[in-house]
Structure formats: C-alpha cells, structure tokens
Amino acid sequence: MFLRILWKLLGASRGRLLLALVALSSGAAVCSALLNVDLDAGRKLTQEFRTLGANIVIAPPSSGGDAAVADAGVMDRIAGLHIPQIVAAAPYLYVAADSGTQPVILAGTRFDQVSKMNSWWKVEGSWVSSGAEDNSEKNNDGGNCLVGRAAARQFGLLPGSRIELRSGDHNISLSVAGIVTTGGAEDDQILTRLDVAQDLAGLPGKVSLVQLSVSGSTAEIEGVAKRLASALPGLDVRPVRQIAAAEGMILGRIRGLIFWTIALILVLSMLGVLASMAALAMERSRDVGLMKALGGSIPRIMRLFLAEAGALGVLGGTIGFLAGVVLAHWIGSSVFGVAISPRLEVFPVTVALTIVVALMGALPLRLLGRVRPAEILRGE
C-alpha cells in the first residue's frame, strides 16, 4: 500500500515535481563535474606545470672561484634510478666564450629534453634537431644553435646567420637555427649541443648542472629530491622551491574554489527544491487532512512524503551524474586540453548529496502535520 500511494504521489503534481527534479539534476550535474575535475585536477595540473621549466637542479658543490663541473655520467645514474615522476632531464655546460668583439655565455644542452621541459619557449626560426648530435662533424663547424633574444640583438643575428666563438685555444663556428625568447637567463645566452660546448671548453664528458622536471605534488617532489640526493653523493640536489610551492598553492586554491562552488550549488539547489515543495505542501493539505481523518499518523504520512523527496534525489542524482560526466569532459578539453576521466566513486557521492539536498528542501512538508482534518472536511 505504501508503494502504491508513493507511486500515485509521484504521478500527481507533475509540474511541481518536475521543477524540483530540474533543480536537483542541475545541481548534481555541476557537483559531479567539479568532483570529477577535483579528483583529476592534481594529475592534470602537474602535467601543465611540467611545461613551465625545471623544479629540481643537480649541481656539483661550488669550488671557490673556479666553475665547478660534474661527470656527464650523472645522466646515466639518474636514468638508472627509474623514477617515473621525472618527465625530462636536461644537462647544461656553461662556457664563457668570446665572439671577437664581446663576451657571451655558450650553454651546451640536449635540445630534446629542453623542448620537453620548456615547450612554452617562443622560437623564431626552428629548434635545433636533437638528432644532429649523432651526425656532428668534429671540426670547426659546430652545427646549429639557438640564440637568446637579447644576445641576438647584441650581435645583430638572425636565423641563418653565423657566429664565430672562441674559448681558450678552441674556436667554433655556429649557424643560427632560431632566435629564442624565454623571459629568463637564456635570453642572454647562445644554446648549442652539449658535445659542441664540451669541445669548445675542452671538457669532454663534463656538465655544469642538470635540470629536472619532476611531476607530482610538493611532497612528492621533495621525496624525489631526497632520493636523488642519497643516490648521488657529492652533488647538490636542490628543489626549486618557488616552483614546487607555487604548484601546491595553486592546486590548493583550485580545490578550495571547487569545494565552495559545490557548497553554493547545493544551497541554490536546495532553495529551488524548497520553493517547489512549499507550493506542493499547500496543494496537498486536503490529501493530508483526509489521510489523518482515516487514521493515518503524522510519522507515517511524513515518511511517505520524505520517501517521495528521496526518490527525487536518487533520480536527480543519477541524471546529474551522467550530465556531469559530459560537463567534466568539456571542462577538461577547454581548460587542460585533455579529457577528464570519469570516476565511478563520484556517482554514490553525487547521489548521496542530492538526496540530502532533496530531504532538506522537503522541510516545508512538515507544515502538513499541522493540518486539522475537521477543517479540511468542512471545506475550510
């Protein structure tokens, strides 16, 4: 009998119930989307941050006034640790060179790793091909290079120009492949292949430092730094704390924004349900009066209406979850450029929150307990 009456209630007052269902479904859709984004936000944000440069630097201890260098074999030792959080590892060797008229810093590196670590760099011309290392000629021709924007203005260089550099007894000729704008120290430098810089400096198999791009939270980055420090004795392993802290701060702020947005959406959904249920309570006063006249108790009558609100919550939560998956996919594509993966654990959370909102929105139905059967039967 209870289920029959509940089914009849759901079939009656369809307009009011439909408005309540729309409010619940809309709120559930936004909550579902934001929860999916929140659960996937850490991974997506760290992927985005990994295009913004290194967050760990490995360098030899300072040795007074001389430039300290380390064995390039450190790259193999890092690779041998098999740390999955390491996205890119770029070695650098800095050489003080002379163009004949002005001094300049030549930075030798691996461009395949640099491009992976700094994809936001703006290059006028073309990148230096990482495959050129294997085909380099061991003579005065050092192949291609990238020139920082400020250095290009200083020396009057354009893509296709050539520049002669000397360091000690060594000299080399480089062809400018592109002009790079980084907003950092690289704007004043000339970047070439690592082996070319080593030849010019007379330091084969040496590097000045290694920059690492490591994914993960601030705590995970610190953990990777500690593991590297223990595996690389004699070298300084320093997290770039400003970048790591910025990642954690931005992620925390985004999650805080998501939490308060969900709270606001739930409150607005509850107000929508509240308005619909208040009107519904006025419409059903006669039905409640008749139930009480026939011997129905207030608790049983209230259970009936609360079951109706709960059924609306389940239905609205289910519809909202499905719509939220689509909305989360759109948010991921628009904000992160990748699809947000739907998480099944969001479904029970969304349904539970929607049921709570529906039950809280059904509070006006408590007023039906004050209905007097005698007044209803007299038509008052």
- What pLDDT digit, counting tens, does each position of 266-278 carry? 888 888 777 777 6
Most confident of the ranges 156-165, 242-251, 282-291 = 156-165
293/301 Cα distance (integer angstroms): 12
The C-alpha atoms of residue 69 and residue 50 are separated, in whole angstroms, by: 26
- What residues contact residue 378 under an 8 Å CB cut-off, 6+ apart? none
Residue 105, exposed/middle/buried by CB under 10 A (0-12, 13-18, 19+)? middle
Per-residue model confidence (pLDDT) at position 137: 43
Q: Is the pLDDT of residue 5 over 60?
A: no
> 179-200 burial string, b = 16+ CB within 10 Å, else e?
bbbbeeebbebbbbbbbbbbbb
**Helix axes 298-331 and 2-11, enclosed angle (nearest 10):** 50
What span, in angstroms and rounded, lies between the C-alpha atoms of 244 and 246?
Answer: 5
Residue 66 has pLDDT above 60, yes or no: no
Q: Look over the chain and give the mean of its residue pLDDT values, rounded to a whole number.
A: 80
- According to DSSP, the residues that pair with 192 across neighbouring strands are 108
Tokens of 185: 């120290």
Q: Would the pLDDT of 65 be above 60?
A: no
The pLDDT value given to residue 135? 42
**Cβ–Cβ under 8 Å, residues 125 and 176:** yes
Cα–Cα–Cα angle for 10, 278, 26, nearest 5°?
65
For the entire predicted model, the pTM comes to 0.60
Beta 103-109 vs 56-59: how paired, if at all? unpaired
Residue 134: pLDDT band by 50, 70, 90 thresholds?
Answer: very low
